[in-house]
Amino acid sequence: MKLIEHPDREALTLAVAQHITDALGMALNTRDRAALCLPGGSTPLPVFKALAAARLDWGRVVVVPGDERWVPADHARSNARLIRRNLIDEGAAAELVELYTEGLDPDAGAAAAAERVAPLLPLSVLMLGMGDDMHTASLFPGAEGLAAALAPDAPAVLPIRGEALAEPRVTLSLPALSSAPEAVLMITGADKRAALDRAAGLSPEEAPIRAFWKGLVVHYAD
């Protein structure tokens, strides 16, 4: 794991956007198509907007959420909606592959999403977020489905449930997420930094972000 500290959040945003832009550019130099996996939450939104202005051949980029709440794509809590509004509608003419499927429950929906995601693998670039509980994507400590999603032979997408989760979720599994040669974690604030430090001494079951430690580049600002 490599930690890069930035003086403020504006510098953090610019650095993360540049990191992802450079990595996507390199991927497009060697492949017909690049696959970018993005997190939900409010922290990465400035990065999405900065990426939308990047001079990339977005028509050759496929974007997939790292996880999704099992809500319709136009729901306020949908990660796909967040990505669409803040990246694609801002000018990045990429293809968005959604994880949610209308009319299916999370179990059947995860299987359907896995069929859509599997052809995109390996991912080109992975951007992660992290909660104070050290979860990433929808890999939550103690969640129902975590062990299956961390398994080395896991399918690309699996359902996740937990008492603390407002909705059932689906998530890209560890094998799918970790297929990317470039993995970037963006965190802000002292609480997230403390959580990152705690994760270093824990197992992936206790701190799922720990599963991505090797090769992970962490960009941080207070």
Which pLDDT does position 173 carry in this prediction? Answer: 98
Which pLDDT does position 163 carry in this prediction? Answer: 84
Residues 130-159 have pLDDT tens digits of 999 999 999 999 999 999 999 999 999 999
Angstrom distance (rounded) from CA 16 to CA 220? 10
Place of tokens 């832009």: 21
pLDDT of 102 over the 90 cut: yes
This prediction's pTM: 0.97
The amino acid at residue 42 is S
pLDDT, average across residues 79-98: 97
Residues 3-25 as b or e (16 or more Cβ within 10 Å = b): eeebeeeeebbebbbebbbebbe
As a whole number, the mean pLDDT across the chain is 97
pLDDT of 166 over the 90 cut: no
Residues 115-126 have pLDDT tens digits of 999 999 999 999
Task: Identify the CATH assignment for 2-221 out of 3.40.50.1360, 3.40.640.10, 2.60.110.10, 3.40.50.300.
Answer: 3.40.50.1360
> Cα(first)–Cα(last) distance of the chain, in Å?
19
Residues 170-204 have pLDDT tens digits of 999 999 999 999 999 999 999 999 999 999 999 99
Which pLDDT does position 47 carry in this prediction? Answer: 98
Domain ranges of the chain: 2-221
